[in-house]
Amino acid sequence: MARLREFDTDRAVQQAMELFWERGFEATSVRHLTDRLGVGQGSLYAAFGSKEGLYRAALERYRDDLAAAALAELEAGGEVRSVLRAMLLERVRIASGGGGRGCLLVNAAAERLPGDAATGRFVRDAMAASTAALTGLLAAAAARGEISTAREPAALAGFLVTFLNGLLVSGKVTPDERVLAGHVEVALTVLD
Protein backbone atom coordinates (compact mmCIF):
# COMPACT_ATOMS: atom_id res chain seq x y z
CA MET A 1 0.00 0.00 0.00
CA ALA A 2 1.33 3.43 -0.94
CA ARG A 3 2.28 5.74 1.90
CA LEU A 4 0.28 8.96 2.02
CA ARG A 5 2.38 12.06 1.54
CA GLU A 6 2.60 14.25 4.62
CA PHE A 7 2.01 17.96 4.16
CA ASP A 8 1.34 21.13 6.09
CA THR A 9 -2.45 21.15 6.50
CA ASP A 10 -2.45 24.76 7.73
CA ARG A 11 -0.71 25.89 4.55
CA ALA A 12 -3.01 23.67 2.49
CA VAL A 13 -6.10 25.30 3.99
CA GLN A 14 -4.68 28.76 3.25
CA GLN A 15 -3.94 27.83 -0.37
CA ALA A 16 -7.34 26.17 -0.78
CA MET A 17 -9.02 29.27 0.65
CA GLU A 18 -7.30 31.41 -1.97
CA LEU A 19 -8.28 28.99 -4.75
CA PHE A 20 -11.92 28.75 -3.66
CA TRP A 21 -11.98 32.54 -3.32
CA GLU A 22 -10.62 32.97 -6.86
CA ARG A 23 -12.70 30.28 -8.60
CA GLY A 24 -15.65 29.38 -6.37
CA PHE A 25 -16.54 25.94 -5.10
CA GLU A 26 -18.03 24.44 -8.26
CA ALA A 27 -15.30 25.68 -10.60
CA THR A 28 -12.56 24.32 -8.33
CA SER A 29 -11.95 20.67 -9.07
CA VAL A 30 -10.08 18.21 -6.88
CA ARG A 31 -7.40 18.32 -9.58
CA HIS A 32 -7.11 22.11 -9.17
CA LEU A 33 -6.73 21.60 -5.45
CA THR A 34 -4.11 18.86 -5.65
CA ASP A 35 -2.13 20.87 -8.20
CA ARG A 36 -2.22 24.06 -6.08
CA LEU A 37 -1.51 22.25 -2.83
CA GLY A 38 1.13 19.99 -4.34
CA VAL A 39 -0.37 16.85 -2.77
CA GLY A 40 -1.96 13.69 -4.00
CA GLN A 41 -5.70 13.11 -3.95
CA GLY A 42 -5.29 10.42 -1.27
CA SER A 43 -3.48 12.84 1.05
CA LEU A 44 -6.12 15.48 0.48
CA TYR A 45 -8.94 13.05 1.32
CA ALA A 46 -7.04 11.63 4.31
CA ALA A 47 -6.60 15.12 5.76
CA PHE A 48 -10.00 16.67 4.95
CA GLY A 49 -12.33 13.80 4.05
CA SER A 50 -13.59 15.42 0.87
CA LYS A 51 -13.52 18.54 -1.26
CA GLU A 52 -16.43 19.78 0.88
CA GLY A 53 -14.40 19.18 4.05
CA LEU A 54 -11.55 21.27 2.69
CA TYR A 55 -14.03 23.94 1.60
CA ARG A 56 -15.44 24.18 5.13
CA ALA A 57 -11.91 24.43 6.53
CA ALA A 58 -11.23 27.24 4.02
CA LEU A 59 -14.42 29.05 5.07
CA GLU A 60 -13.39 28.72 8.72
CA ARG A 61 -9.95 30.15 7.91
CA TYR A 62 -11.55 33.07 6.11
CA ARG A 63 -13.89 33.73 9.03
CA ASP A 64 -11.11 33.41 11.60
CA ASP A 65 -8.61 35.57 9.71
CA LEU A 66 -10.36 38.11 7.52
CA ALA A 67 -13.87 38.40 8.96
CA ALA A 68 -12.47 38.44 12.50
CA ALA A 69 -10.21 41.34 11.50
CA ALA A 70 -13.29 43.42 10.69
CA LEU A 71 -14.77 42.68 14.11
CA ALA A 72 -11.47 43.53 15.79
CA GLU A 73 -11.49 46.89 14.00
CA LEU A 74 -14.94 47.56 15.44
CA GLU A 75 -13.93 46.56 18.95
CA ALA A 76 -10.79 48.72 18.89
CA GLY A 77 -12.84 51.69 20.00
CA GLY A 78 -13.15 55.28 18.94
CA GLU A 79 -16.06 57.31 17.65
CA VAL A 80 -18.47 54.80 16.14
CA ARG A 81 -19.08 56.61 12.84
CA SER A 82 -15.34 56.86 12.18
CA VAL A 83 -14.76 53.24 13.18
CA LEU A 84 -17.58 52.02 10.94
CA ARG A 85 -16.42 54.19 8.04
CA ALA A 86 -12.87 52.85 8.34
CA MET A 87 -14.06 49.24 8.56
CA LEU A 88 -16.43 49.58 5.60
CA LEU A 89 -13.83 51.40 3.50
CA GLU A 90 -11.30 48.66 4.26
CA ARG A 91 -13.84 46.09 3.03
CA VAL A 92 -14.34 48.27 -0.09
CA ARG A 93 -10.59 48.27 -0.65
CA ILE A 94 -10.47 44.49 -0.34
CA ALA A 95 -13.49 44.05 -2.63
CA SER A 96 -12.30 46.45 -5.32
CA GLY A 97 -8.64 45.47 -5.16
CA GLY A 98 -9.06 41.72 -5.02
CA GLY A 99 -9.61 41.13 -8.70
CA GLY A 100 -13.36 40.94 -8.23
CA ARG A 101 -13.24 38.18 -5.64
CA GLY A 102 -15.58 39.89 -3.20
CA CYS A 103 -16.10 38.14 0.14
CA LEU A 104 -15.66 34.37 0.40
CA LEU A 105 -18.60 34.04 2.81
CA VAL A 106 -20.92 36.08 0.59
CA ASN A 107 -19.69 34.11 -2.42
CA ALA A 108 -20.40 30.87 -0.57
CA ALA A 109 -23.96 31.99 0.18
CA ALA A 110 -24.57 33.02 -3.43
CA GLU A 111 -23.07 29.87 -4.91
CA ARG A 112 -24.02 27.14 -2.45
CA LEU A 113 -27.40 28.11 -1.02
CA PRO A 114 -30.05 26.95 -0.58
CA GLY A 115 -28.82 23.46 -1.51
CA ASP A 116 -25.88 23.18 0.93
CA ALA A 117 -27.36 23.25 4.44
CA ALA A 118 -23.99 23.02 6.22
CA THR A 119 -22.60 26.03 4.34
CA GLY A 120 -25.86 27.85 5.00
CA ARG A 121 -25.54 27.29 8.75
CA PHE A 122 -21.90 28.34 8.71
CA VAL A 123 -22.54 31.59 6.81
CA ARG A 124 -25.63 32.35 8.90
CA ASP A 125 -23.66 31.87 12.14
CA ALA A 126 -20.82 34.09 10.89
CA MET A 127 -23.24 36.84 9.90
CA ALA A 128 -25.12 36.50 13.20
CA ALA A 129 -21.85 36.95 15.10
CA SER A 130 -21.06 40.08 13.07
CA THR A 131 -24.55 41.44 13.66
CA ALA A 132 -24.36 40.75 17.39
CA ALA A 133 -20.97 42.46 17.72
CA LEU A 134 -22.18 45.44 15.73
CA THR A 135 -25.39 45.63 17.79
CA GLY A 136 -23.34 45.93 20.97
CA LEU A 137 -21.15 48.62 19.46
CA LEU A 138 -24.15 50.61 18.24
CA ALA A 139 -26.01 50.28 21.55
CA ALA A 140 -22.98 51.67 23.39
CA ALA A 141 -22.66 54.49 20.86
CA ALA A 142 -26.35 55.37 21.26
CA ALA A 143 -25.94 55.42 25.04
CA ARG A 144 -23.00 57.84 24.65
CA GLY A 145 -25.08 60.07 22.34
CA GLU A 146 -22.85 59.44 19.30
CA ILE A 147 -25.71 58.22 17.13
CA SER A 148 -29.44 58.70 17.00
CA THR A 149 -31.65 56.55 19.19
CA ALA A 150 -34.46 56.69 16.61
CA ARG A 151 -33.65 53.16 15.41
CA GLU A 152 -32.98 50.04 17.42
CA PRO A 153 -29.27 49.05 17.46
CA ALA A 154 -30.16 45.52 16.29
CA ALA A 155 -32.05 46.89 13.27
CA LEU A 156 -29.16 49.22 12.42
CA ALA A 157 -26.67 46.37 12.76
CA GLY A 158 -28.78 44.11 10.57
CA PHE A 159 -28.99 46.83 7.94
CA LEU A 160 -25.24 47.51 8.02
CA VAL A 161 -24.36 43.80 7.70
CA THR A 162 -26.83 43.49 4.80
CA PHE A 163 -25.41 46.65 3.23
CA LEU A 164 -21.87 45.35 3.58
CA ASN A 165 -22.78 42.05 1.94
CA GLY A 166 -24.43 43.91 -0.94
CA LEU A 167 -21.44 46.22 -1.17
CA LEU A 168 -19.13 43.25 -1.51
CA VAL A 169 -21.27 41.84 -4.33
CA SER A 170 -21.34 45.26 -6.00
CA GLY A 171 -17.56 45.36 -5.71
CA LYS A 172 -17.40 42.29 -7.94
CA VAL A 173 -19.52 44.03 -10.58
CA THR A 174 -18.07 47.54 -10.25
CA PRO A 175 -14.67 47.31 -8.58
CA ASP A 176 -14.33 51.09 -8.36
CA GLU A 177 -13.25 52.13 -4.88
CA ARG A 178 -14.49 55.71 -5.29
CA VAL A 179 -17.99 54.63 -6.30
CA LEU A 180 -18.23 52.12 -3.46
CA ALA A 181 -16.87 54.64 -0.94
CA GLY A 182 -19.70 56.97 -1.91
CA HIS A 183 -22.20 54.24 -1.07
CA VAL A 184 -20.57 53.89 2.36
CA GLU A 185 -21.18 57.57 3.07
CA VAL A 186 -24.85 57.21 2.15
CA ALA A 187 -25.24 54.11 4.34
CA LEU A 188 -23.72 55.88 7.34
CA THR A 189 -26.54 58.43 7.26
CA VAL A 190 -28.74 55.80 8.97
CA LEU A 191 -26.84 56.67 12.16
CA ASP A 192 -28.20 60.23 12.13
CA distance 41 to 177: 40
Q: Does domain 60-191 bear CATH number 1.10.357.10?
A: yes
What pLDDT score was predicted for residue 6?
63
What pLDDT score was predicted for residue 1?
44
Kindly calculate the radius of gyration of the chain based on its CA atoms and give it in whole angstroms. 19
What 8-state DSSP symbol labels residue 67? I
Cβ-based neighbours of 52, under 8 Å, separated by 6 or more:
118
Find the Cα–Cα–Cα–Cα dihedral 145, 88, 127, 44, rounded to 10°: -150
What pLDDT tens digit does each residue of the chain (192 aa) get? 444 456 789 999 999 999 999 999 999 999 999 999 999 999 999 999 999 999 999 999 999 887 677 777 777 777 899 989 988 888 888 767 767 788 899 999 999 999 999 999 999 999 999 899 899 999 999 999 999 999 999 999 999 999 999 998 888 888 888 888 999 999 999 999
pTM of the model: 0.85
Cβ atoms of residues 15 and 62 within 8 Å: no
What pLDDT score was predicted for residue 87?
87
